[in-house]
Amino acid sequence: MDQTPISIVHYSERVAALKQGGVRSFVVTGSQRALLIDTGFGGPQLAERLAQVTTLPLDLLLTHSDGDHTGGASLFERIYLHPAEMDRLRERLPELQATLLPVQEGDTLDLGDLQLQVLHTPGHTPGSICLLEAQQGELFSGDTVSHGPVFLFGPGRDAALYASSLERLGGMAGIRRIYCCHGPCPIGPEVIGELRACLAGILDGTLQGTVPEREFGAGAQPLLYSIGKTGIYAP
């Protein structure tokens, strides 16, 4: 069980983050229910920290099935996620007993006085999703949008799909604030444009990658492509 401490960061009356090392999950609180977006690595503090943030009925949604977002999933009896992530989650957590509930493009999660719209944004993984709270222009982006570096190498990553997802998000004029799971947070919508430019340079060969300082697992040797403070790890 992961022992990394979890701290609480309150961004507003209804948005809080659970920060665990280099990853965040988010609790969004409505008038009737609350939603946990990802779980981080999990660990013994997770349930205690959640109880400190909200006493409302709490659901879990996973933006995707990477291990740093799903480590605490076994605490929940029901889990919302995109169908394209279900098999991978079961492979990663074979002991998981929760009922997996599919959410897809256009679905809405109703927390009472606020609603979160599901956006299917594949690329980082096949079933990656973002959640949009349209009234405030808040996007909960999982690993789809951040300063990164965003992982775009290895099984399940798809640069062409990621480009389409970024193009779509970049065309949504109502996004004002982005809550991301890694790096500085919150960030502005201009980061979407930086990621689009970075990815375009990767795809057309005009942006040169560098050997990253960090080490990756055996057989993984991506390059780091950067524009300003925003980066992508890619083959």
122-175 tens-digit pLDDT: 999 999 999 999 999 999 999 999 998 999 998 899 999 999 999 999 999 999
Bridge partners (DSSP) of residue 176 are: none
Q: Which residues of 144-170 are buried (b: 16+ CB within 10 A; e: fewer)?
A: bbbbbbbbbeeebbebebbbebbeebb
CB 37 within 8 A of CB 141: no
| pLDDT (0 to 100) of residue 213 | 86
DSSP character at residue 54:
-
Q: Does position 230 have pLDDT exceeding 80, yes or no?
A: yes
Q: Does position 2 have pLDDT exceeding 80, yes or no?
A: no
Classify domain 7-234 by CATH number: 3.60.15.10
Residues counted in the chain: 235
Where residue 181 falls among pLDDT bands split at 50, 70, 90? very high
DSSP letter string, 187-234: B-THHHHHHHHHHHHHHHT-S--B--SS---TT---EEEEETTEEEEE
% the chain with pLDDT above 70: 99
Q: In whole angstroms, give the CA distance from residue 215 to residue 18.
A: 26
Q: In whole angstroms, give the CA distance from residue 195 to residue 193.
A: 5
| pLDDT (0 to 100) of residue 218 | 64
Where residue 180 falls among pLDDT bands split at 50, 70, 90? very high
Q: Does position 224 have pLDDT exceeding 90, yes or no?
A: yes
Q: Which tens digits make up the pLDDT trace of 38-54?
A: 999 999 999 999 999 99
Instruction: Provide the H-helix boundaries in the chain.
Output: 46-53, 67-70, 86-92, 159-170, 190-204
Q: Cβ of 36: how many Cβ atoms within 10 Å?
A: 25
Residue 201 φ then ψ, to 5° = -65, -35
Where residue 98 falls among pLDDT bands split at 50, 70, 90? very high
* Mean per-residue pLDDT over the chain, rounded: 96
Three-state SS at 68: helix
Question: How do the domains of the chain map onto residue ranges?
Answer: 7-234
Q: Which tens digits make up the pLDDT trace of 198-223?
A: 999 999 999 999 999 888 876 678 99
pTM: 0.96
Q: Does position 232 have pLDDT exceeding 90, yes or no?
A: yes
